[in-house]
Structure 1
Amino acid sequence: TSSCGKGFSCDRHFGLCVPLRQEGKYCRRDAQCVRGLSCMFGKCIRSIPEGQEGARCKVDKDCGSSMCCARHHGEMVCKRRLALGESCFVPDGGLAFSINQICPCDEGLLCRGNGRPQKRETEFVYQSDSSSWTCQVPKL
């Protein structure tokens, strides 16, 4: 395939040269967006500087302090680590887990349910109240 020229990108699926897309327009990859925009969550959006919240990442160290690299709508981005009292419930798996992930609790905090770790014997009981899992200061 030859280059499409200035202001156009090649739509590999259809084998056509298409105009570059402006902010807010649908896209499948960065090359389809005008300069300064990235294709995130299927739309052309302003590129977020590396290491900042919402920026693309591969591993935690790509992100600034108190952040981790986690999936958001299926895209790996820098997210804040959870603060004291924030909900930290993580689903066992499934669609919700694979599309959106949360960071662990901030340094020095642990994820606890109802102020105490759950007993192993009651693990099979379905915990419908996921909001009871929060980041807490570990009790000594």
Structure 2
Amino acid sequence: MNATARLLHILLVCMCVSAVQARIWAWVLSMPYSPPEEGPMGLRERETESSPNSQKSDMVACDHDRACGKGFSCDRHFGLCVPLRQEGKYCRRDAQCVRGLSCMFGKCIRSIPEGQEGARCKVDKDCGASMCCARHHGERVCKRRLVLGESCFVPDGGLAFSINQICPCDEGLLCRGNGQPQKRETEFVYNPDSTSWTCQVPKH
């Protein structure tokens, strides 16, 4: 047997011994034995499978949603493609939420059909009967009009009123201060300091 054949024989024996030892130790320690993936590609594939959010690290620059792939939207403030958000997650616009959700009050929520209470609106006619279009936490949404006995006072203006508004009283009712005599509509006196105003049936 020449030197080359002898060397190959020794290498083959060493490889067999290494594999046998590995299986023996795996059996002793009750651990399953599996040889490592071949090459760096196998390791990269395993890392991708174990890290479903690994795509987040591959940030793509963008200036509109079409520049991003499926399941992503363009964060216009940072100019990067980001994954679509699920229900309850923070957002700044509808396109950042998954299908079926809308971005309202800074979070992705289930979309409300047009005209129903809580749906987005621009004017009163966008809402159903006995409702108006008023701001709620800054968003213009359909709200129900106030019914008999409900508090109806609103301030002259200010930041609080511009963020959260209430509808007028329902049809046939007027917003009046409690205890004020109302013999005739022309005798009505507006008192902006009062906070005890309610929706009442007009007195003639």
Does the alignment reach a TM-score above 0.5? yes
Does the C-alpha gap of structure 1 residues 52 and 125 become closer, same or farther in structure 2, counting only changes over 3 Å? closer
Question: Counting strand residues as a fraction of each chain, which structure ranks higher?
Answer: 1
Contact 1:115 1:136 in 2 (8 A): no
Does the C-alpha gap of structure 1 residues 49 and 122 become closer, same or farther in structure 2, counting only changes over 3 Å? closer
Question: Counting helix residues as a fraction of each chain, which structure ranks higher?
Answer: 2
Give the gaps of 5 or more residues in structure 1. none
Residue 116 of structure 1: CA displacement? 2.6
Does the C-alpha gap of structure 1 residues 117 and 25 become closer, same or farther in structure 2, counting only changes over 3 Å? farther
Cα deviation, 1:4-46, whole Å, max 9, x if unaligned, reads: 0110000011010000000000000000000000000000000
Question: TM-score, normalized by length of structure 1?
Answer: 0.88
Higher RCO, Cα 8 Å, sep 6+: 1
Does the C-alpha gap of structure 1 residues 65 and 76 become closer, same or farther in structure 2, counting only changes over 3 Å? same
Contact 1:83 1:106 in 2 (8 A): yes
Give aligned pairs, total: 138
Give the gaps of 5 or more residues in structure 2. 1-66
Question: TM-score, normalized by length of structure 2?
Answer: 0.61
Moved over 6 A (4+): 117-129
Superposition RMSD in Å: 3.4
Does the C-alpha gap of structure 1 residues 77 and 116 become closer, same or farther in structure 2, counting only changes over 3 Å? same
Does the C-alpha gap of structure 1 residues 129 and 76 become closer, same or farther in structure 2, counting only changes over 3 Å? same
Aligned-partner SS, 1:86: coil
Q: Greater CA deviation, 119-128 or 12-21?
A: 119-128
- Percent of residue pairs bearing the same amino acid type: 93
